[in-house]
Amino acid sequence: MKFFADTADTAAIRELAEAGLIDGVTTNPSLIHKAGRDFIEVTKEICALVDGPVSAEVVALDHPTMMREAETLRKIADNVCIKVPLTIDGLKTCRALTGDGTMVNVTLCFSANQALLAAKAGATFVSPFLGRHDDNGWDGLDLIRDIRLIYDNYDFATEILAASIRHSVHVLECARIGADVMTAPPAVIKGLANHVLTDKGIEGFVADWAKTGQTIPLD
């Protein structure tokens, strides 16, 4: 499963990229607002930090204006992936862009039927929102399972990009189900390394090593 960082914080992206922990980045208007930087400038910087797809979202709601915004965004870098909402106009834009060889991430997916439409429109990625689905009384992981089953039934090429990831259990279960990608905040990705027994083991090794009175020579 590929890992994308869901952030516009370039320092956090750089840290994860240097550790080899991410394969791409997703952004949205809310994350750009939180970063407090110019949209085009920060997107360009992010694209230079990672080799994989960087989702940059259009903000228009109608197809013609989405296409004009997408034209501006895809000039930023070769690895820009245009992010569009799962609406009829968004799907029209998806079809037009993917037909021209541009990567498209269809976002705000909350049902398997919506995901089916995204695949029919040729989406590179579809982004079902687990956490928000859970917040509204549904099981977000069941949504991932349904989409996985449907896509496998018909051999759709669209990749399932599990979004609105809240914690490590979401990551684990998405991997078990077979999501192609998951996108999560940097803190969630880094938190996957944490385990109380790892911490205890390190404490024990450090204490025992100190008792030997030895050091490892540094060049």
Is 83 an annotated catalytic residue? yes
- Quick check: is 130 in a domain? yes
Domains identified in the chain, total number: 1
Interacting residues of 47 by C-beta distance below 8 A, sequence separation 6+: 54, 76, 77, 79, 80
Residue in the block written with tokens 């990567």 = 103
Residues counted in the chain: 219
Quote the mean pLDDT of the chain.
96
Q: Pick out the chain residues at pLDDT < 50.
A: none
Q: Which domain holds residue 54?
A: 2-194
Query: Is residue 201 in some structural domain?
Result: no
pTM score, whole prediction: 0.95
Q: Name, in order, each residue with C-beta under 8 angstroms of 72's C-beta and a sequence gap of 6 or more.
A: 40
pLDDT per position as a tens digit, 19-59: 999 999 999 988 998 889 999 999 999 999 999 999 999 99
Residue 158 lies in a domain: yes
The candidate with the shortest Cα–Cα distance to 4, out of 64, 67, 70, 83, is 83
Q: What is the CATH number of the domain that holds 71?
A: 3.20.20.70
Q: Is 198 helix (H, G, I), strand (E, B) or coil?
A: helix
Q: Give the per-residue pLDDT at 133.
A: 86
The residues pairing with 57 across neighbouring beta strands, listed in sequence order, are 83
Conformation bin of residue 179: beta by default, left when phi > 0, alpha when psi is -120 to 50 = beta
pLDDT at 114: 98
Asked if residue 147 is part of any domain, the answer here is yes
Residue among 176, 146, 141 nearest 162 (CA): 141
From CA 141, how far away is CA 146, in angstroms rounded?
9
Specify if 116 maps to a domain.
yes
Distance of CA 144 to the CA centre of its chain: 14
Tell me which residue of 151, 101, 149 sits closest to 126, measured CA to CA.
151
- 214 domain residue, yes or no: no
Catalytic residue among 44, 83, 92, 120: 83
Query: Token pair for residue 108?
Result: 């705000």
The verdict on residue 122 lying in a domain is: yes
DSSP character for 36? T
The pLDDT of residue 173: 98
Quote the pLDDT of residue 134. 87
How far out from the chain centre does Cα 22 lie? 9
101 within domain boundaries: yes
